[in-house]
Amino acid sequence: MQFNLFAIWAMDSKDHWHERYIAQVWLGINYFSDLLNDSALLIGDFNSNKIWDYASRIASHTDVVNYLDSKNIHSLYHLQYGENQGEETKPTLFLHRKIDKPYHIDYCFASDNLMQQGYSIKIGDYNDWIQLSDHVPIMINFG
């Protein structure tokens, strides 16, 4: 099956403060909106979570999630685990590699037709990955 892959790494921008982090994702998905009408997979470090929706940016985490939802593209993690955005129990980042500073900021969003073939998602374990990165991987199997 063919699909459009969006590899996400949202980051800080000292020059364009209102366009940093999730705002970069917002700008990207709007710029490439036609590519979202086909099969699409968006995965990576969104550097965002609903808990930070209060931040002054051109778009919020919830804006991105709702826009993708309107394109029938959904977070595999949230569907599999039945959790709401901002209430994740499995972190993907441990700030400064500290186990007591967990956040869920990495995501995999997929089109409905990709999910229809079945999928499973697993979040890496802190102890297995912390020596390599402050992030743990998201592992997805389709089919």
Residue 20 tokens read as: 């940093």
- pTM, full prediction: 0.95
Phi-psi region of 96 (alpha: psi -120 to 50; beta: other; left: phi over 0): left
Q: Where are the domains of the chain?
A: 4-142
Which CATH number fits the domain 4-142, given the four candidates 3.60.10.10, 3.40.50.300, 3.20.20.150, 1.10.287.1080? 3.60.10.10
Burial (CB count within 10 angstroms: exposed 0-12, middle 13-18, buried 19+), residue 100: exposed
Residue 87 has φ and ψ, to the nearest 5°, of -125, 30
> For 58-76, how does the pLDDT look when each residue is reduced to its tens digit (9 = 90+)?
999 999 999 999 999 999 9
Using DSSP bridges, classify how beta strands 106-111 and 73-75 pair: parallel, antiparallel or unpaired: antiparallel
Above 80 in pLDDT, residue 20? yes
Radius of gyration of the chain (CA): 15
